[in-house]
Structure 1
């Protein structure tokens, strides 16, 4: 039986995970994202993964639009400030909001689902529901 073709989803999920790693480290250590990204890339073994380009695009895009992204998250995260959010959640939200606003080839539902799935794997029990709500409200705003 022939193998099913590999879909883009696993590669993009890996890219999102890599983007999260870099953004998390930059956020936690209060370092500039480009510096953390350069260090991260240097540490990668050859050959580099195919999905690295998408990960770098996410990281650079979040860094470039960080003020706008954080403004939206803060506005739509009812009762939460960015500083009070777990670092993982804050950076998953940043990646998803970047995809919602600036990556046309990713459907809104996919950007939200991916953030929720990563939160389910890597954050608190409340994180998936929290991110789903915040990102859903931002997606509604973005499609107006």
Structure 2
């Protein structure tokens, strides 16, 4: 991966982060807005996890079906995220459940939010990616693919997950 894949960029004058300490990362979508390679990979991983859960299929079954339908292979980082989450799914889901507040359960969360949380918590716990980047990326995707309420909900959940992650060195 290029170092530029996770390049933090300055906020525009008057622009405020969605949560204190959140950063903006270089990122281009279909409309021409710039997204990092890892942002695209996270979105692709989200799509695969969503499909696996929706169809009650294994990761390998979803990837095989996608290949059979002529879809391009998943990006390298998406494959890393997918296999990493799949290998540690029970642990990641337990961590998410521990960070939920009130009457929320993992099953009650909207499918998009649940899978965004899975990706972000796996990144928080299993990679050297700065927590603020993992959280900002998840919130950016939630802002694009879910509701305003989801962004606030995920922000709280992921900040709790960052604070309680194994080996937290409090950035």
- TM-score of the alignment, normalized to the shorter chain, above 0.5: yes
CA contact (8 A) 1:116 1:128 kept: yes
C-alpha spacing 1:61/1:41, structure 2 compared with 1 (3 Å) = farther
Contact preservation (8 Å) 1:34, 1:60 = no
Tell me the distance in 2 between the aligned counterparts of 1:38 and 1:7. 31
Instruction: Measure the CA separation in 2 of the matches of 1:86 and 1:96.
Output: 15
Report what 1:74 is aligned to: 97
After TM superposition, the structure 1 = structure 2 runs for residues 1-144 of structure 1, keeping only pairs within 5 Å, are 7-9=4-6, 10-42=36-68, 43-45=70-72, 52-79=75-102, 80-104=104-128, 106-142=129-165, 143=168
Residues 12, 54 of structure 1: 8 Å contact kept: yes
Q: Could you give the per-residue CA deviations for residues 96-143 of structure 1, whole angstroms, max 9, x where no partner exists?
A: 001001111x11110000000100000112011111110100111111
Matched residue SS, 2:148: coil
Q: State how far apart, in whole Å, the 1-side matches of 2:67 and 2:5 are.
A: 22
Shift of 1:28: 1.1
The alignment yields a C-alpha RMSD, in angstroms, of 1.8
Q: Give the TM-score normalised by structure 1.
A: 0.87
Structure 1 residue ranges, 4+ long, deviating more than 3 angstroms after superposition: none
Aligned positions, number? 135
Instruction: Provide the TM-score with structure 2 as the length reference.
Output: 0.74
Given that 1:62 and 1:94 are in contact with CA atoms closer than 8 Å, whether structure 2 keeps it comes out as: yes
Three-state SS of the structure 1 residue aligned to 2:147 is coil
